[in-house]
């Protein structure tokens, strides 16, 4: 499948760089997936999980916030995630991940109800993803 160049960069260092077919992240307007050739896109990220999918392989990071930019031509397409912080979920168990996302969200001192609902949604999705090892396909 068509791959693109993806890098995940935190303020202190480049966290990861590689090829991937799809990147899934979350903006204030909802979850989105980016594949090669998407129109140039720039999004702010809210607390949640950024997932990079390449074939059967998938890697996820807990991200408290940041930005995602996708741009380039069909042959040279890249996605850059600028994360405020990025911790690879790896071994983290889903309940712990959900708790952390909730924590990050609270740190952003928003007591907006809709925000809370979306944080719960992210948390439950992270849980679901862990349990079923499958993304409820965004496209």
Partner 1 sequence: MGGQLRIIKRRISSVQSTQKITRAMELIASSRIIKAQQAVAAARPYAEELRRMMASVGKSAGSIDSPLLRSRDEIRRIATVVISSDRGLAGAYNSNVIRSAERDMEDHGKEKALYLAGKKALSYFKFRGYDISESWQGFSERPGISDARKVAQAVAKAYLEGEVDEVRLAFTRYESALTQRPVIVQLLPMPRDEFEGDSGEGAGASYEFEPSPEEILDLLLPRYVEGTILQAMLESAASELAARRRAMKAATDNAEELIGNLTRVYNQARQAEITTEIMEVIGGAEALAQEK
The reply on whether position 80 binds partner 1 by CB under 8 A is yes
Give the orientation angle of helix 94-107 with respect to helix 113-132, to 10 degrees. Answer: 160
Q: Which of residues 13-52 bind partner 1 (CB under 8 A)?
A: 13-14, 27-29, 32, 39-44
**Smallest separation, CB 104 to partner 1 (Å):** 14
Q: What is the nearest approach in angstroms of partner 1 to the Cβ of residue 55?
A: 26
Q: Which residues contact 57 (CB under 8 A, 6 or more apart)?
A: none
Residues 6+ apart with CB under 8 A from 1: 21, 55
Return phi, psi of residue 106, to 5°.
-65, -35
Measured between alpha carbons, how far is 134 from 111 in angstroms, rounded to an integer?
Answer: 31
- Burial call 38-61: b when 16+ CB within 10 Å, e when fewer: beeeebebbbbbbbbbbeeebbbb
Of residues 43 and 98, the one with the C-beta less far from partner 1: 43
User: Applying CB under 8 A, which part among 56-64, 68-76, 91-99, 106-114 lies near partner 1?
Assistant: 68-76
Q: Mask: binding to partner 1, 94-123, rule CB under 8 A, as x and -?
A: ------------------------------
Q: What angle do CA 31, 108, 6 make, to 5 degrees?
A: 40
Is 128 among the residues that bind partner 1 (CB under 8 A)? no
11 contacts partner 1 (rule: CB under 8 A): yes
Q: Which residues bind partner 1 (CB under 8 A)?
A: 7, 9-14, 27-29, 32, 39-44, 65, 67, 69, 71-72, 80, 82, 84-85
């Amino acid at each position: 499948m068509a791959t693109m160049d993806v890098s995940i960069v935190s303020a202190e260092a480049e966290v990861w760089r590689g090829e991937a077919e799809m990147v899934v992240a979350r903006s204030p307007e909802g979850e989105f997936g980016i594949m090669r050739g998407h129109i140039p896109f720039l999004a702010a990220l809210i607390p949640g999980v950024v997932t990079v999918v390449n074939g059967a392989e998938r890697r996820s990071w807990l991200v408290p916030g940041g930005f995602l930019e996708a741009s380039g031509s069909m042959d040279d397409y890249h996605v850059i995630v600028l994360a405020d912080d990025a911790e690879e979920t790896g071994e983290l168990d889903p309940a712990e991940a959900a708790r952390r996302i909730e924590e990050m969200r609270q740190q952003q001192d928003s007591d907006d109800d809709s925000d809370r609902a979306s944080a719960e949604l992210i948390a439950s999705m992270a849980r679901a993803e862990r349990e079923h090892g499958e993304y409820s396909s965004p496209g």
